[in-house]
Structure 1
């Protein structure tokens, strides 16, 4: 290379560094792209996204291509740098060129382009794919040979390269993405999405109207009393039974009863029973995501939850499941959590015994046990195995609970003091 001027060599060296920076930045940009955004852009018809997605379908080939190009230009740059150094400084120029070139390559061909590519992967990967796509075709024989040698060496040490890594997200990973997308999704929508993901963890037992709160009509009762109950019922559906709720016979839509009242037909017990629907039974422990599909498949909106012995435990409707996702409807007749709790200045919370443990955990970020009982009353009775007297204090997990009021064998009100500071408050 003696006939080549030093200036030409320096310019060539700079070009090599720029090409090295291109390969380094392209590799980082390609590998740090958001694959789900890339797939979205590709499906929308973005040509650059389609080109990049095609390159990433075979990441081993892409990496091999980038490494071949990067190493070739780096080796060539090293050789040119050595020649330039010797021309300018003699034998000492080898050491000088090595030090300067190492610094230049690290800063301008590695750290700087990779940092920029990591910060702006789309702006780097999309334009660079224009050159990488044809380069991959041109250098395919060399890339193929390199990959074959690599796979052979991997097999010699017992590593198989044919196992495809799934790009699908697990529920926990999806939950993390939703939690971290607060800049793109409102808090309310985040809560709704997380509630949908949690449907399989929640069963009908957790949200059902308990047996003692089910509104029903004894069809064997006085007819005038039945008419009065139908006329003033705040609910859309009422269970019809004989003597006891365990002998339920049908589910009546109140609007059907009103229709019978307004028609000229005779309004009798028999006409009411004919207008009622057959009861739909739900096994206890059914996850909400399963039950929602069953409601849709069976064209039902409400059902009675029964245990393994067929005894009625509660009532669940489609609205109850939807409330688990979107929150309480304003038309709900049940008290809201904000009506059942009263945070105090000392950090404690006054809570009605009928308050749902799951709702409390979600509202206050608590971790009270919710597997065995739905309500505060049930949780305390489960822990004590007896009905406590007012003034009793019990510690459950990390919570000191004072029993304030007990009536009719039920705990009506308690004061809960978390051992750890209260981190969240109930939103009205």
Structure 2
């Protein structure tokens, strides 16, 4: 009976441990490993090595698990047959006894060596990860020849090295899960999701179109502009030469007002304007944001495929796209400046039509 219990304990105990290690190692995320590397470099690097060469820990764990189940099942069957024969003799129903023992062992392995340990590993992997990593590393060392042999076999079957590829959609889904679990705030989730799609959004999707732009002809004087367009609600206004496809620069509202206040009303706008950088309308908002920051500028001219003016895009536009909200500074009198520009453009159209 003692030997029977020993074989049963071997089958259940070792299999329990192997299933726990397998579930824990597979549940560990690469993000957790990177974070652990910063806090506990030794255990973090060890787990990183296991995740990078995931075939090694799996080979070691599954090899030990298979050996334990095989030896344990064979030993339990042999001991049941021996005990039954000793008690009831060879004429008894020994085969039925072994069948019952096998069925019972299968049920015990399913519950205590598969379901329970794998559930524990999947749920408590963060707490178990460091210890599971060291135990798996030790197991790899113990049966290293077998690990190398099976690793070579797996490389023959699949010559492509395993590479982790996390899609943007998966990262966005993780952010949504983080919000649902209370790890991330709604605003944080929105920013993460907007950031992930920022590279797919083009300048033409968020620009202020030329049809609603407030623009000044470069030969106009400060006095003419202030008298006609006061109050000027926009901070930076494009300045053009012959037509809107000939944007020569931008003039700042405060330069205009300062020149007017200093009685320099006869100065033309081309004397106050500064050059404006042009970008294609197919350029991503992510690239434009990076370039705006690098050049330390606030506004870019957006041109279409023919080099004509499509509109303008501002640093504020790109950040609003990232944050998903309208940004209003202390000098803005309205919340949505693009909407105001559209309204002004519509009024101009009506005036031209005599309405």
Partner of 2:285: 288
Question: For the Cα contact (< 8 Å) 2:302–2:310, is it kept in 1?
Answer: yes
2:75 equivalent to 1:80: yes
Partner of 1:381: none
Q: d(CA) in 2 for partners of 1:147 and 1:185? A: 40
**For residues 84-118 of structure 1, what are the alpha-carbon distances to aligned partners after superposition, in whole Å with 9 as ceiling and x for unaligned?**
31233222432232122222112111222112212
Higher helix share: 2
Question: For the Cα contact (< 8 Å) 1:282–1:304, is it kept in 2?
Answer: yes
**For residues 23-72 of structure 1, what are the alpha-carbon distances to aligned partners after superposition, in whole Å with 9 as ceiling and x for unaligned?**
11111211122222122212322644433222233222211111221112
CA gap 1:76/1:25 in 2 versus in 1, 3 angstroms = same
Question: For the Cα contact (< 8 Å) 2:222–2:259, is it kept in 1?
Answer: no
Counterparts of 1:92-103 in structure 2, within 5 Å, are 92=95, 93-103=97-107
Q: d(CA) in 1 for partners of 2:311 and 2:68? A: 74
Counterparts of 1:211-250 in structure 2, within 5 Å, are 211-221=210-220, 224-228=223-227, 232-242=231-241, 244-250=243-249
TM-score normalized by the length of structure 1: 0.68
**For residues 128-156 of structure 1, what are the alpha-carbon distances to aligned partners after superposition, in whole Å with 9 as ceiling and x for unaligned?**
333222221121112222333x34xx74x
Partner of 2:26: 31
CA gap 1:284/1:144 in 2 versus in 1, 3 angstroms = closer
SS in 2 for 1:281: strand
2:273 equivalent to 1:269: no
Q: d(CA) in 2 for partners of 1:52 and 1:223? A: 67
Bigger mean CA offset, 243-252 vs 318-327 = 243-252
TM-score normalized by the length of structure 2: 0.81
Partner of 1:351: none
SS in 2 for 1:201: coil
Greater RCO structure (CA 8 Å; 6+ sep): 2
Partner of 1:13: 8
SS in 2 for 1:316: strand
Q: d(CA) in 1 for partners of 2:279 and 2:47? A: 50
Of 307, 310, 332 in structure 2, the residue corresponding to residue 310 of structure 1 is: 307
Q: d(CA) in 2 for partners of 1:245 and 1:128? A: 67
Q: d(CA) in 1 for partners of 2:290 and 2:279? A: 12
Question: For the Cα contact (< 8 Å) 2:326–2:335, is it kept in 1?
Answer: no
CA gap 1:221/1:73 in 2 versus in 1, 3 angstroms = closer
Question: For the Cα contact (< 8 Å) 2:11–2:73, is it kept in 1?
Answer: no
Shift of 1:261: 5.0
**For residues 368-426 of structure 1, what are the alpha-carbon distances to aligned partners after superposition, in whole Å with 9 as ceiling and x for unaligned?**
xxxxxxxxx9xxxxxxxxxxxxxxxxxxxxxxxxxxxxx959xxxxxxxxxxxxxxxxx
Shift of 1:254: 2.2
Shift of 1:19: 1.4
2:178 equivalent to 1:181: yes
User: Structure 1 regions of 5+ residues with no counterpart?
Assistant: 1-5, 341-353, 356-376, 378-406, 410-428
Partner of 1:119: 123
Partner of 2:198: 199
SS in 2 for 1:232: coil
User: Structure 2 regions of 5+ residues with no counterpart?
Assistant: 86-93
Shift of 1:323: 1.2
Question: For the Cα contact (< 8 Å) 1:219–1:226, is it kept in 2?
Answer: no
Shift of 1:317: 1.0
Question: For the Cα contact (< 8 Å) 1:284–1:305, is it kept in 2?
Answer: yes
**Corresponding pairs, count:** 331
Partner of 2:90: none
CA gap 1:274/1:63 in 2 versus in 1, 3 angstroms = same
CA gap 1:296/1:62 in 2 versus in 1, 3 angstroms = same
Partner of 2:140: 136
Of 321, 330, 352 in structure 1, the residue corresponding to residue 328 of structure 2 is: 330
SS in 2 for 1:269: coil
2:38 equivalent to 1:50: no
